[in-house]
Amino acid sequence: MDFSLSNEHLMVQKMVRDFAQKEVAPVIKEYDRKQEPIPFVLPRMGELGILGISFPVRYGGQGMDYVSLGLACEELEAVDTTMRVAMSVHVGLCAGTLFHWGTEAQKQEFLVPLAQGKKLGCGAFTEPGMGSDVTAMRAAAKRDGNQYILNGEKMWISLASKADYALITVKTDPNPKKPSEALSTFIVDLTSPGVTRGDIHGKLGVRAGSTGWINFQDVRVPAANRIGAEGEGFKITMSAFDRGRYTVASGATGLIRAALEASVKYAKERAAFGKPIAEHQLIQEKIARMAQDYEIARLLYLRAGWMQNEGKRCTREISFAKKFATEASFKAADDAIQVHGAYGFSDEFDVERYLRNARGAVIYEGSSEIQTLIQAGYALGQREDKPLRCEQPAYDAEEWQK
């Protein structure tokens, strides 16, 4: 059992950390206040290869493994959640699903430009009035020759107004034998006639990120853009969520670390009752909990990354990592504000932004309640990982570097 990072892992970690700390950290507060995305961030992430970090070189990626993806997400969210959100939807939901489930032709047409950072992708699953209950989707697609006609609306979609492509799951069978067999998944060009989209404003957190809605009105989608077979949409969506949740878990780990580092720095500088507050036991308790939770969250996501490298199904392990890390990050940010006192209530310090950003991750990509049900299902023997037609591709360094 080896817990050390390889030289390649350390290289990725340093590269992403340098980008986030040197280029984004100095300006993130300004854009968070304006509630506007930083214009250069996504192009720069594409230029550095971050948006294609965990895809084979032959598909335009960097040929790195899933642990590298987790390390990158940790470093990005240690500065701001908006960058990790982009990884979750572009890499985890959209490009990752194409890599796992797409045909060779689909990979060449869509995955290559996504991995190269020349195009942006998002995952469009949530609808108005439908969040956790995936089978309750109302958006539908009807077959018409060699095309599908798509109608409906998707809501709370990260990168909705920025993405070139959307991976979207909709209803294709109005009378299925099982609700889970009613759905199919497509890759949709968001410049197609009949697509309208916009941003949602007034969010509590992730204010420097794009979150919005997409409306489809008689949008014609080539049948060749269907991912998998008709009726496989539920399975494909669930596997996409696994990949997305992995990036959320690793990113939330970075937020815990950021809250810890900010609290340690402030506690050493701030004095009360004649000594630095770092010497007060109740402050030490909060810092100790942050340090402990960071180590636990990091081990959980690294285990899930290793399992993905081995080609093993890890829905249960990713659920553990996602639930623990997101809840711990919210608690760490809350404690960091308490350590900072009145200053923590002001955006003069970053910790108030950490708290606002952390709150969303407890909801999206499968709420804590959904993760609890998943974990209980495994513990009670009510849930098991059945073989999928598309298995997790194991990481092969030599093959992925070709």
Radius of gyration of the chain (CA): 21
Active site residue 365: yes
* Assigned token pair, 111: 């995955």
Which class for 30: exposed (0-12), middle (13-18), buried (19 or more C-beta within 10 A)?
Answer: exposed
Q: Indicate which residue of 279, 365, 369, 391 is catalytic.
A: 365
Instruction: Enumerate the β-bridge partners of residue 143.
Output: 148
Among 175, 176, 178, 159, residue whose Cα is nearest residue 167: 159
Q: Treating both helix axes as pointing N-terminal to C-terminal, what angle do 25-34 and 351-361 enclose, rounded to 10 degrees?
A: 70
Place of tokens 């942050």: 290
Q: Cα 382 vs. chain centroid, distance in angstroms?
A: 27
The Cα–Cα gap between 178 and 159 comes to 32
Residue 340: CB partners within 8 Å, gap ≥ 6? 262, 263, 266, 349, 351
Maximum distance among all Cα pairs of the chain, rounded to whole angstroms: 79
197: left (phi over 0), alpha (psi -120 to 50) or beta: beta
- Gap between the terminal Cα atoms of the chain: 28
Q: Cα 169 vs. chain centroid, distance in angstroms?
A: 17
393 touches 311 (CB < 8 A): yes
The Cα–Cα gap between 251 and 326 comes to 9
Residue 144, helix vs strand vs coil: strand
- Catalytic residue IDs: 365
